[in-house]
Structure 1
Amino acid sequence: MAPSLFSSKTKLGSPGPVHKLFTRDSHNFKFHRLPTIDVDAPDCGPSGQVGNLNNIAAAETPAKLFPKLAWHFEDEDDDDVLQTMRMIKEYLIVVEDLDGAKFPPSPRAIGIYFVIPPEKTTISAEDLVKTKKGRFERVRVAERNLVGGFKYGDLDGQVWRPPKSMHRIHFQVMALSRTVDSGSLSEFPTINSFYGEVEGAVLGWGEWVGIYEKKTT
C-alpha cells in the first residue's frame, strides 16, 4: 500500500507541510484519517521512491509527464467495502506539489480532475487531452472536458503543471458519494472550490507519492 504520510527527509530537505494537503487539511476527512484505497503507478515504481517519476521524464510534452495511475479499494471482498463501493458516484483526483510554495511552506495544486465515473479506476496522460480549446486556453467549466471522460480544474488554462525541479508530488484519489456540482462551481474553479464539494461525501481516499525531477535531453 502507498504510504499515507510521506514525510521522510530526503535531499529535498524538510519533510514539508504534509498536514496541509487536501486529504489532511479538511474536516471532510475526519472520519477517513487513513487511506483505504490503494493507488499504484505501474510505470514508475513504488510510492515515495526518489527518482521514480524520472522513468517518464524523457516524454516530449508536459502531458506525457503524467504517470499512469490505477486504484482499487482494499479488501474488496469484504461486505462493508462492497457496500461502500456501490455508493460511489464519482472519483476526484487532486495532485499537489508538496514543495510548490516556500514562503510560507504550502502544497500547490498542479492538477485537479473531477466527475471521474465510478467504473473508471485508471488515469493516464492519454486521458488528459482537452476536447475543446478556448481563447488564451481559458475554457469555461461547462466545456472543460477531457478525452478521458471527465473534467479538469483551472490551472491558468493548463490541464496540469509538472514541476521544473525535484519536488514531492502527491496524487490523491478520493471516492465520493455524490457528484461534484459543476453548475455551482465558478467558471474557472481552483482548489478552494472543491473543499465544499466534497463535504460529507468522502467514502475513502488513497495516494501515490512521486519524486519528480524534470530532465533535459
Structure 2
Amino acid sequence: MMTSSIHLMAPRLEKTIGCLLKRARNISSLDDRPFHHGPAFVVHPDPTITIVSSDCGPSPAELHAEYLRNDLFKECGRMPCLSWNCPASIKDEVREWLLIIEDLDAPWCRPIVHGLYAGIPAAKLSVEPEDFVVVDDEKCRLDGGFHFGRNSRKKVYTAPKPMLNHGLHRYSFQVVALSRQLDVTLLESRATRKAYSKAIQGLVLGWGVWTASCERRWE
C-alpha cells in the first residue's frame, strides 16, 4: 500500500508543477530563442532547406508513443527518420551539416537540447535511428559517420517527455548547412550548444526546420 501511494505521488506532483508552469508560458515564450535565431544566422534569417520525415510525416507532425521517452520500455524513444534537400544555389559550397533538436516549450529560460550532431558529411542528406549508435564514445563518433555534442541530459539523444499537463510541446529539428568543416577537436570534445553556436559564425549557408509535437496529460 505504501509503495502504491509513493508511485501515485510522483505523477500528481508532476501534474501540479506542470499546471503551475503552464501559466508562465503565456508570459514568456521561447519562440525567439531556438538555435537558428542565433547570431550566426543573421545573414540567413529565413529557412531555405526542406526537411521531411518518412515515418512521422510532414511538418508540423505529431510524435506518437514510440518516439517518446519511457523509462520502463527501452523500445520507446525512437529517433525519427529525417531527410533534407540541398538547394542548388549552395550545393557546391556545402562541406558538412549540423543537426540540433530542441524543445521550444521547455519551462526554463532557454530551449532544452535533446540532440546535437556535427560533422555530418556533405553527401549525407538523411539520418535514421541506426546512425546514432555510438562507435567511439571517447571521440563522440557515431555509426552514421558524424559526432554528437552535449545535450541537456548528457546523452547521445534524449527522446521527448514533456511535463505532465504542461501543454503541447513543440520539438524543433534544425539542419544547418556549413561552408567549412568544423575543427575535429571541437567535434570530439562533446561540445555544447553555446560552443557550436560560436564555432559556426560566418559558416552558415542555409538552414531548415522540421517540427513535431506531443503532450502528456493526466486527468
- Structure 2 letter corresponding to 1:191: R
The equivalent of 1:89 in structure 2 is 95
Q: Does 1:53 align with 2:57?
A: no
Q: Does 1:145 align with 2:148?
A: no
Q: Deviations along 1:34-54, whole A, 9 cap, x unmatched?
A: 1000001121112124xx211
CA distance in 2 between counterparts of 1:21 and 1:118 reads 23
The equivalent of 2:80 in structure 1 is 67
The equivalent of 1:178 in structure 2 is 180
**Secondary structure of residue in 2 paired with 1:194:** helix
Aligned residues: 184
After TM superposition, the structure 1 = structure 2 runs for residues 64-213 of structure 1, keeping only pairs within 5 Å, are 65-74=78-87, 76=88, 81=89, 84-100=90-106, 102-104=107-109, 106-132=110-136, 139-140=137-138, 143-155=139-151, 156-165=153-162, 166-184=168-186, 187-213=189-215
Q: What is the aligned-residue RMSD (CA, Å)?
A: 2.6
CA distance in 1 between counterparts of 2:68 and 2:156 reads 19
CA distance in 1 between counterparts of 2:186 and 2:76 reads 28
Using a 3 Å threshold, how does the CA distance of structure 1 residues 73 and 185 change in structure 2: closer, same or farther? closer
What's the CA shift for 1:57? 3.3
Indicate if the aligned counterparts of 1:92 and 1:176 stay in contact, CA closer than 8 A: yes
Percent identity between matched residues is 32
CA distance in 1 between counterparts of 2:65 and 2:52 reads 14
After TM superposition, the structure 1 = structure 2 runs for residues 27-38 of structure 1, keeping only pairs within 5 Å, are 27-38=39-50
- Structure 1 stretches of 4+ with a deviation exceeding 4 A read none
In the superposition, the TM-score normalised over structure 1's length comes to 0.75
Using a 3 Å threshold, how does the CA distance of structure 1 residues 159 and 63 change in structure 2: closer, same or farther? farther
After TM superposition, the structure 1 = structure 2 runs for residues 8-27 of structure 1, keeping only pairs within 5 Å, are 14=26, 16-24=29-37, 26-27=38-39
Indicate if the aligned counterparts of 2:141 and 2:188 stay in contact, CA closer than 8 A: no
The 10-residue stretch of structure 1 (150-159 or 123-132) with the greater mean CA deviation from structure 2: 150-159
Using a 3 Å threshold, how does the CA distance of structure 1 residues 62 and 88 change in structure 2: closer, same or farther? farther
